[in-house]
Structure 1
């Protein structure tokens, strides 16, 4: 498939989400060893060191004030969102945390309409509803059992992270239209690291023993950020957002392989609905590609 094909951004977004799901697994390992805060800060610092030469090598000028405001706003959102989500991974199975967070894409579809002026296509609404039905099938058995305090804390962290993630998805579209992928990747990590480092005197721990987890997650997050920036520069948020549902299948596989977290029959049924949602969104009439 040529990169100019209308479905190219959809395929690229799915690949990026797969990388992010594997990255979530690596960050779960790092967070269990160091705590979510230390894992996040070390990853942000490492990612900034990697992406800075990429951005400088492009010889692009310093972002204009309007562009820098978007970088700052999204960088802060991503830092808090990721910290909450990775904390939840220390309390919940990876696939379950991903599933609970899936109401974020539905929120972002309507935020995109309000903030970006996008018209919500019927296929996008149908896809989001099918995807949420899949999430309900997955979560129902888990949410009807007795909850422990840690479980409640984990669910609350996921829900708070999901609200921020919905905002993040909308600003990803706006950011991708005004900045290049390498610039976005650098400032997202640098600003996130700057926010987190303020709390280092109280919470930072040495990365020894989890450096491999942090390095793997850093490389995967950079690759995914570059791919998502490319995709969001060429397709509307309502087309790409339902692709987020494909993350569950990857998360279930990573959780099972790396952390021996079982996958139930209801989980598989939910995944089938989520995949159907992605197909509905992809088969909808895509908009004209937007120039990067």
Structure 2
């Protein structure tokens, strides 16, 4: 994808980004709705495989399909696929055990874990503002999961928390790995090969209990892939019309959508403790956004097609 902005149209950028966030949240709702009968590995396959035609068609329309097929470091894509697919699978398993707003809120900790992992593995310096952001964010995560702690692994909620936190840490690894990938790989290639490898890896789980879904469930699963592909395109397009630092806070609109979908579709309602923890995590992330904006960091320009909610 072209990384440079084609024009500055902030209203259009916000509309595209918020619409993408709504679609990604709806996708999570679809996966949760099918989780009682469809194993996570099978859901990952549908989510990944049926996004490929949408992405390929869009790349072809933009004349950038060849960028999605050219790679100089194929093993980078293999590792990105392994970790990203693991993150997606863990999230899907967590959705079966926890309310949608809670899974959404815990996922907000990804930038916090990315900061920690970048310091550990990339040697990035974390100064006072970022240390404060990490501390606030981790406190928020602890508050959110505290009511779930103390149970055993047979407790579905406890296991769900472990799965979603694991997925969040895995997405942190994905983000620091992508920082290396974008130095040599085109973003179109990163997205295309992730969808391809995720589909292939998900197929490996078929011997472990895949089912033949009924027509309604099949339609939902296929729609999850199509919705994911469209949402990915919308979020990519949003970065063509406004800088990443301006659009980043709109990610948190997902909580509004998650609360609405959770209540209407699943009769779920977020607790005050969860909302308080989520507010702290968001505060920590806003500190990071503010700091990176002040430093003039533009790493987000390489993210439009890379941050597609699920790995």
Tell me which interval the TM-score lies in, with the shorter structure as reference length. Answer: 0.7 to 0.9
Gapped regions of structure 1 (runs ≥ 5): none
SS of aligned partner of 1:60: helix
Residue 100 of structure 2 is aligned with which of 87, 94, 100?
94
Q: Structure 2 matches for 1:1-292, cutoff 5 A?
A: 19-56=23-60, 58-61=64-67, 62-66=69-73, 68-101=74-107, 103-143=109-149, 148-207=154-213, 208-226=215-233, 227=235, 247-248=254-255, 250-284=257-291, 285-289=294-298
Deviations 1:35-77 (A, max 9, x none): 22222212222112322333455242532332x2222211121
CA contact (8 A) 2:108 2:282 kept: no
Using the size of structure 1 for normalisation, the TM-score is: 0.76
| Structure 2 CA distance for partners of 1:105 and 1:245, relative to 1, 3 Å | farther
1:172 alignment partner, SS class: helix
Q: Is the 8 Å Cα contact of residues 108 and 281 (structure 2) preserved in structure 1?
A: no
Q: How many residues align?
A: 285
Cα deviation, 1:177-199, whole Å, max 9, x if unaligned, reads 44444333221111101111123
Provide the TM-score with structure 2 as the length reference.
0.73
Alpha-carbon distance change, 181 to 27 in structure 1, aligned in 2, over 3 angstroms: farther
| Range moving further from structure 2, 197-206 or 28-37 | 197-206
Distance 1:112 1:72 in 2: 20
Q: How well do the aligned residues superpose, as a CA RMSD in angstroms? A: 3.9
After superposition, the C-alpha distances for 1:114-142 in whole angstroms (9 at most, x for unaligned) are: 44454435433323332333333333334
Contact 2:97 2:156 in 1 (8 A): yes
Q: For the residues of structure 1 that align with 2:133 and 2:230, how far apart are their CA atoms?
A: 26
Query: Is the helix fraction higher in 1 or 2?
Result: 1
Q: Could you say if the C-alpha distance between residues 242 and 117 of structure 1 is closer, same or farther in structure 2, counting changes exceeding 3 Å?
A: farther
Higher mean C-alpha displacement, 240-249 vs 147-156: 240-249
Structure 2: segments with no counterpart, 5+ residues: 303-311
User: Which one is further off, 189-198 or 37-46?
Assistant: 37-46
Q: How far apart in 2 are the matches of 1:242 and 1:78?
A: 23
Distance in 2 (CA, whole Å) between partners of 1:259 and 1:197 is: 29
Q: Give CA-to-partner distance per residue, 1:60-95, whole Å, 9 cap, x none.
A: 2532332x2222211121112211221121122222
Query: SS of the counterpart of 1:65?
Result: coil
Tell me the distance in 2 between the aligned counterparts of 1:93 and 1:101: 13
